[in-house]
Chains A and B, each alone.
Chain A
């Protein structure tokens, strides 16, 4: 055996000893080692409050027993209240849905008047698009469909795209989220990738999404904000949002799930991703699949605008 071959052999042996998984160079938030299941009930391994918000009846019971938003993972106002303010955006989405192009075609030409054939579709998005060859979230699917079928540009992060997203989401209100990430395939791969990205530490502050949104931080304060865990919340996106403009965003009143991810990235000094990119879509798949089995609630309010608790405090003071 010559010296070169011997060195290679030693190297191979050494490599075998220090062999590390493909993503070992990344630093992950430690709760990634907890049991993570693609179902809303997986919250029991994080905040362990699932029994108090698994359905509307449980939320009402918990609230009647004096539990606050923080005790029910902030699900109360998102599932017990609908947003009146969002209706203008929903109506605008309906108008865009029926808007005819030069050839007299509209979304309704294929998908039915008032979206009859899209009922419940949003609860199964994102999904794999064979023609494009990758997993697409709803805004990207809208963009692709409009370009291919209608010859119009409704790119992600533009007004017609976001109002359409909101309108189509309302057609799945009340349906349970159902993203199949257990059958081997592109959707499962996207889920695994999104899970890794969710727990990966990134950016100027070296934070992961999970730094704020896991069990140990739920109900605590980040200055005035109080984070929830990553279970269930994806079932109420897109949301109507206060006038809070992201850079380059002209749809400040509608927040898609990827707008939300981007907003979190900007506030925690991570590189903001591009809406519709494979990485952002993977994170969305992870979040949406973590809401599997939970009912969609669209359009919902963003913050708890209820002042009941003030009256309760007043009553106690008397």
Chain B
């Protein structure tokens, strides 16, 4: 993506967030007792609380799939449950200054494990890891010399650059911690 397209998508993302907050504010201000009952409140947890809830009884990268009761923290298909009417997570813009302080060995383990980061599902990775072809090969990603804040944001919440992207929202949805994202970046040879 060129930098012009990048800037346009940034503005588009910002506009979306703004429109959403205006709509929310107007709805809140205009709520009257006569309005229909609101859908069951969905839990609104901070990112840290989400991480705690997810990892309290589950170790990513282990033999088990993520427990189903944890997945009710996010929008779901079941319209019978509160998560069925939960709004999509808000786009998160993060500001990563660097330098990357990560452990490449840990990053490798995260990237190639289906129950952890699972980057390999869509990408070829360094150290000869053959993966999927939905995403571009990252085997020589460091050679592209992309700014570290760009890469960090891409992993954290890709919608800032491309709202239609296939990438999971690793940061926004508490899939990986900031430290784990840096571990993966170190595996991509972005550390100094």
Contact = CB atoms under 8 A, between A and B. Distances in A.
A11 B133 CA distance: 49
Interface stretch (B64-72, B101-109, B179-187): B64-72
B110 to A, nearest CB: 14
Given A15-B26, A25-B87, A25-B88, A204 B132 contact: no
A15 B35 CA distance: 13
A29 B164 CA distance: 7
A96 interface: no
Interface in B114-154: 114, 120-122, 131-134
Contact of B132 (A8, A14, A26, A222): A222
Most chain-B CB neighbours within 10 Å: which of A8, A269, A270, A283?
A269
Most chain-B CB neighbours within 10 Å: which of A12, A18, A277?
A18
Contact of A220 (B66, B132, B172): B132
B168 A204 contact: yes
B71 A271 contact: yes
Given A197-B77, A269-B71, A205 B169 contact: yes
B77 A11 contact: no
Interface in B44-59: none
B121 A222 contact: yes
A213 to B, nearest CB: 12
A205 B88 contact: no
A221 interface: yes
A221 B26 CA distance: 45
A11 B29 contact: yes
Contacts of A20: 23
Contacts of B172: 206
Contact of B77 (A14, A204, A221, A265): A265
Given A30-B164, A202-B77, A280-B77, A223 B120 contact: yes
Given A11-B30, A269-B66, A271-B71, A27 B77 contact: no
Interface of A: 8, 11-12, 14-15, 18, 20, 25-27, 29-30, 193, 197, 200-207, 211, 217, 220-223, 247, 265-267, 269-274, 277-280, 283
- 3 tightest A-B CB contacts, nearest first: A11-B30, A27-B88, A205-B168
Given A221-B132, A269-B65, 8 more contacts: A203-B74, A204-B70, A205-B175, A220-B133, A223-B120, A223-B131, A271-B71, A271-B77
18 contacts: A11-B26, A11-B30, A15-B26, A18-B19, A18-B23, A25-B87, A26-B88, A27-B88, A203-B76, A204-B66, A204-B174, A205-B175, A220-B134, A222-B134, A269-B65, A271-B68, A271-B81, A273-B77
